[in-house]
Copies of this chain bind each other. A is one copy, B any other.
């Protein structure tokens, strides 16, 4: 079947809106015709590099028009895009590139040295395309260190030399995104999303938020994140304008919004506070904003009140979802935010087309108000984990996708997340799996026990805390353990604080560390953990 494939939206929109602005990225401007022209050339270049429609290519880049072009090339059938988290440590990066069988990596100027250093001679056949100032690729490639003699290609040279190609129309079950997410086993897992799942995610977003040619969307959330996908896919499919800033920065958000009359964006609550608290903030600078979507964690009621008082016309939305659901499972809508009250702590209600069910350990649905695991059935769910049939079967056991989050539904269907079954910490919008951090710390000489939990943090929502018990006679400093962890895991996963204890950690009957007990003193004033 081919009805639910992105080129059916993208290609007609490129013709229909051909002369209208499609992309703004600093001084770069492209009309729909120009943007689509570059995407088709990129499709041609990928084909010339031997990337077929089911082959993976990776992108390690801050937000840019090139990143959008790479997404759109994949979406129209030129390959499977593997967007890399920019905060991955070298070992994680190498693992993902190897695990995914990625053949080509596109890397921007900021991350080229990190990528080359991370490879350190591994994956010698990997081809690297450099997104940045022309000529820099050659310079990096010629230099044995960090280029290691690799021949880097300039992105613009690649496009200039390519013949535009409209790939054969993909099938609905063609994979289009392979996006890695932290894993409970301590190693990232690749989430495979096909055309159909991505398209239904988009239809659910259109149904919920509305799409149209009056939209001006600001990309500030990293494009490698599932939270960006609504903007990445939806805007160019409906005639709107995609405005890019390389990464979140309060002043850049204010300037891009003001300059381009941005009316829609996605942020996390931390980012919103930072913008409102910035010395350059003045309400007029954000006056064009109509819809503000946030995710990752509930927004504090005081922040909602402040936003509504400052921008009475602004619609505030919360989306809850994960990479495995392409993006959205539930939505707390603008009316819910205006109404306020306890439901501001909820994740809202299922998006149209999504069915949510709270289920117990036996897989049975539990009554309203009872806690259990949040499960879903929806057309926007992943095909499965890349080359992990057991973990895929486990995630979909009983015909329901198991999110790993614990929660309950109230009598009107609002979802309250009450714990993370998978023991996940959300810090600044990023998911950190405790086990990954525990693994990284447990190899430090003399560590006897370690438990990693999230604790409340004004700025990040949650901060990573490690509680460590050393062997008798052994000792360590906070800094030494942090430094050790930084060798194997991304900086944002490294504990912000470490607490040393002498007594053994509390254990359950099944000999598992009782994390609830460890968390309790930190969360006594909060509803969430």
For residue A8, which residues in chain B have a CB less than 8 angstroms away from its CB? 353, 355, 377
| A side interface size, CB within 8 A | 26
Q: Which residues of A contact B (CB under 8 A)?
A: 2-4, 8-9, 12, 15-16, 200, 203, 206-207, 210-211, 237-238, 349-350, 352-353, 355, 377-379, 412-413
Please tell me if the beta carbons of A237 and B352 are within 8 angstroms of each other in the complex: yes
A12 touches B210 (CB 8 A): no
Partner of A207, one of B2, B203, B379: B203
By the criterion CB–CB under 8 Å, are A200 and B3 in contact? yes
Q: Assess A355 versus B12: contact at CB under 8 Å? Given A207-B203, A377-B3.
A: yes
Residues of B within 8 A of A206 (CB): 203, 206-207, 352
Contact A353 B15, beta carbon cutoff 8 Å: no
Q: Do the beta carbons of A16 and B412 come within 8 Å of each other?
A: yes
A9 touches B352 (CB 8 A): yes
Q: Do residues B15 and A413 form an inter-chain contact, with CB atoms below 8 A? A: yes
A211-B207 contact in complex given A3-B378, A3-B379, A15-B413, C-beta closer than 8 Å:
yes
Chain B residue, CB-CB nearest to A349: B16
> Whole-angstrom distance between the alpha carbons of A353 and B378 in the complex?
19
A15 neighbours in B (Cβ, 8 Å): 413
Q: How far is the CA of A8 from the CA of B350 in the complex (A)?
A: 11
CA distance A372 to B203 in the complex (A): 31
Q: How far is B218's CA from A442's CA once the two chains are assembled, in angstroms?
A: 66
Report the separation of the CA atoms of residues A294 and B203 in the bound assembly, to the nearest whole angstrom: 24
A3-B378, A4-B379, A203-B206 known; 16 other A-B pairs, CB under 8 Å? A3-B200, A3-B377, A8-B355, A9-B352, A12-B413, A15-B413, A16-B412, A203-B203, A203-B207, A206-B206, A206-B207, A206-B352, A210-B210, A211-B352, A237-B352, A238-B352
